[in-house]
Chains A and B, each alone.
Chain A
Amino acid sequence: MSDKDPYAELLRLCAQGDEKAFASLYQQTTGKLFAVSLRIMQTRQSAEEVLQEGYIKIWEKAGTFDSGKARAMTWMTTIIRNRALDVLRSYKSRPVEVEAQFEGMDFAAAESGPDKLTGISLETRQVLECLNELKEKQRQSVLMAYYYGQTHEEISRQLEAPLGTVKAWVRRGVERLRKCLE
């Protein structure tokens, strides 16, 4: 179990204008946060733009981070994901590569085994375990929306299921997830 928050202190230093702390934070977190951006944006260039804007916002808003409310990585992920989703929704159509690069979501499998879950926080383990309790299609729809920023329509096309059914999968999926996590 990994309960301590390794990046909270770096964020606190960033809030004081410590550029070295920011460099260290970037170095340690960029791999995960770029992965978040890349899955949603699908092209390296746009994912890098989102990452760049996101880190500048992290630097600017570091003073508003409250370690009592969220883990640092969760807070930073929120900034990057929100920026990625905003940019994505401003596009008239999505880059064509999206389906070709859709490589599944095995990384989010709770049954990955204890060795693979080393260094994963307790919170994340709980979410993975609860996701595992969803019905297969509910879980798949929720993860496609989360990791790839896919809309109901896109999920409907990809899973070859009616739109109404996909909306119900997502709705019931988050409902079950909430009950499990409460």
Chain B
Amino acid sequence: MSRVKRYQNPELYERLAAEYVLGTLQGAARKRFERLINERPYIRYAVDIWEGRLNTLSEVLPEEKPGAHVWNNIRQQIAHQSPREKPLWERLGFWQLATGLLSVLLVTAILLPRQTGLMPTPNFVAVLESSEDKPMIVTTGMRDLGMLDVRLLEMPKAKNQQWVLWAIPKEGMEPIQVGTLRQDSMQTRLHLTEAKWKQIHGVEMFAVSFEPNGGKAVQQQPTGPMMYKGKCLDFI
């Protein structure tokens, strides 16, 4: 039976949906199934049903108390996000429009001088957006100069934290630390070693997290969620 037909078999996708929710569907099979959830509404529906069945089981767990810092971190992070209910003009797609304009500007700024030889060739660009799809940072890699140019479109409000740039090879994989952004300027130029360039070659996306300050070295892995994320567009 072809793979397409296999997944139309209700008995099979019902079972896979159950094992997906349970967590026993793993590795490549799990990734494949995740794609199918997004592509096929009947599989999404089967997963919804199993989530509704199994995830009620949290109700019977004896409660556990997390540290107070968890709520403090959450509160601090949501404070940087605007209210959920957006004004009409914004809901009508202001940021889609802004992103579109930004793309045009980027193409003009990057590709045009590139053709005329006025500027070093950029190898990739990534527009990092907030969880509300608002463009916040533009990252441009210029390997010839060994430099990663990071421009803030808006100054983050997280003043007492370090803003750390990460490269994510693929969704779900461990991020690679790239560098810390300046807070006294809208632009940071990170000079990367050859080894670091090799490490970040072909990554899927870039992201920024807010890390604890206070003179502490940044951890090898982010301590909190990625606040801004953007897919990397390779030019070469």
Q: Is the CB of B78 within 8 A of A59?
A: yes
Q: Is the CB of A31 within 8 A of B174?
A: no
Q: Is the CB of B56 within 8 A of A127?
A: yes
Per-position 1/0 for B7-24, Cβ under 8 A of A: 000000011001100111
Residues of A in contact (CB 8 Å), total 67
The complex places the Cα of A17 from the Cα of B64 at a distance, in Å, of 27
Q: Is the CB of B65 within 8 A of A34?
A: yes
Stretch of B68-76, B109-117, B145-153 contacting A (4+ beta carbons < 8 Å) = B68-76
Q: Which of B26, B59, B131 contacts A89, CB < 8 Å?
A: B26
Per-position 1/0 for B78-90, Cβ under 8 A of A: 1001111100000
Q: What is the total of A-B residue contacts with beta carbons within 8 Å?
A: 160
Q: Is the CB of A127 within 8 A of B66?
A: no
Residues of A within 8 A of B70 (CB): 30, 48, 51-52, 55
Q: Is the CB of B71 within 8 A of A35?
A: no
Shortest Cβ gap from A57 to chain B (Å): 8
Residues of A within 8 A of B84 (CB): 14-17, 62-63
Which residues of A from 54 to 98 have beta carbons under 8 Å from B? 55-56, 59-60, 62-63, 69-71, 73-75, 77-78, 81, 85-86, 89-90
Q: Is the CB of A34 within 8 A of B64?
A: yes
Q: Is the CB of A108 within 8 A of B57?
A: yes
Residues of A within 8 A of B64 (CB): 31, 34-35, 38
The complex places the Cα of A32 from the Cα of B66 at a distance, in Å, of 10
The complex places the Cα of A175 from the Cα of B83 at a distance, in Å, of 43
By beta carbon, the residue of chain A nearest B224 is A52
By beta carbon, the residue of chain A nearest B59 is A124
Kindly state whether residue A170 has any CB partner on chain B within 8 Å. yes
Q: Is the CB of A31 within 8 A of B63?
A: yes
Q: Is the CB of A145 within 8 A of B85?
A: no
* 15 contacting pairs across A/B (C-beta < 8 A): A14-B84, A15-B85, A16-B83, A17-B84, A26-B71, A31-B64, A35-B62, A52-B74, A55-B74, A69-B48, A70-B51, A78-B55, A121-B59, A146-B22, A146-B54
